[in-house]
């Protein structure tokens, strides 16, 4: 986020993240993959305190920033330093109800990272921009091979955000390819 974004911070960044709560159920455990500055996880946790939000971030300086920020805000979230494709992260966070992300990676990689973290029938919610439909068309085959079903583009916050948040929605099918997340990062299965 650069200085030109300050005027759009509330609508384009914070509310844009918080409104995906419309797609989550009460009490869901939600993993924010590549949390960075806390988007979308922190606004989501503020808007939906009933959720169990985990901020997953690989960089030490960012996890330190996140710890300080959530302490100052009084937001109850868990912060994990790691990568979604790491087996210990999958062991610790696997079975979550949803994986959310914003500006992390292309859908093929994001799906390979998300599916091992969510339970069967759990949701992947990737906040994307105006190219969401094109990206789904481009990566649908890999998404399905990675275990995604019911892949579609939805909008959130249409009654109060202009433009509304554009989200790629997918559910995890019953079976996923073993090791698909590690292979997406160049590792071996």
* Residue 102 annotated in ligand binding: yes
The full set of domains in the chain, from first to last, is 3-184 (3.40.50.150)
DSSP 37-99: TTTTHHHHHHH-TTSEEEEEE--HHHHHHHHHHHHHHT---EEEES-TTSHHHHHHHTTEEEE
> What's the pTM value of the predicted model, to 2 decimals?
0.88
Give the mean model confidence (pLDDT) for residues 147-151. Answer: 98
- Bridging pattern class, strands 29-33 and 52-57: parallel
pLDDT digits (tens, 9 = 90+) for 123-143: 999 999 889 999 999 999 999
Q: What does the pLDDT read at residue 187?
A: 42
* Residue 81 annotated in ligand binding: no
pLDDT at 167 over 80: yes
Q: How far apart are CA 185 and CA 90, in angstroms?
A: 14
Q: What does the pLDDT read at residue 185?
A: 45
Mean per-residue pLDDT over the chain, rounded: 89
User: CA torsion sign, 26 to 109 to 92 to 118?
Assistant: positive
* Residue 61 annotated in ligand binding: no
Confidence of residue 184 (pLDDT cuts 50, 70, 90): very low
pLDDT at 29 over 50: yes
pLDDT digits (tens, 9 = 90+) for 66-107: 999 999 999 999 999 999 999 999 999 999 999 999 989 999
């Amino acid at each position: 986020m650069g200085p030109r974004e300050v005027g759009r911070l509330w609508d384009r960044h914070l509310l844009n993240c918080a409104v995906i709560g419309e797609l989550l159920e009460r009490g869901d455990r939600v993993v924010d993959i590549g949390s960075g500055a806390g988007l979308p996880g922190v606004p989501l946790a503020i808007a939906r305190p009933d959720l169990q939000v985990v901020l997953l971030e690989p960089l030490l300086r960012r996890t330190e920033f996140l710890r300080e920020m959530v302490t100052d805000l009084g937001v109850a979230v868990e912060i994990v330093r790691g990568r979604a494709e790491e087996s210990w992260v999958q062991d610790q966070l696997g079975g979550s109800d949803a994986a959310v992300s914003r500006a992390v990676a292309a859908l093929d990689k994001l799906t390979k990272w998300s599916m091992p973290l969510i339970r069967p029938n759990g949701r992947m919610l990737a906040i994307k921009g105006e190219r969401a439909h094109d990206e789904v068309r481009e990566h649908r085959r890999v998404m399905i091979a990675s275990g995604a079903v019911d892949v579609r583009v939805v909008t959130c916050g249409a009654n109060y955000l202009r433009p509304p948040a554009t989200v790629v929605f997918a559910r995890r099918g019953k079976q996923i390819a073993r090791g698909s997340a590690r292979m997406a990062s160049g590792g071996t299965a």
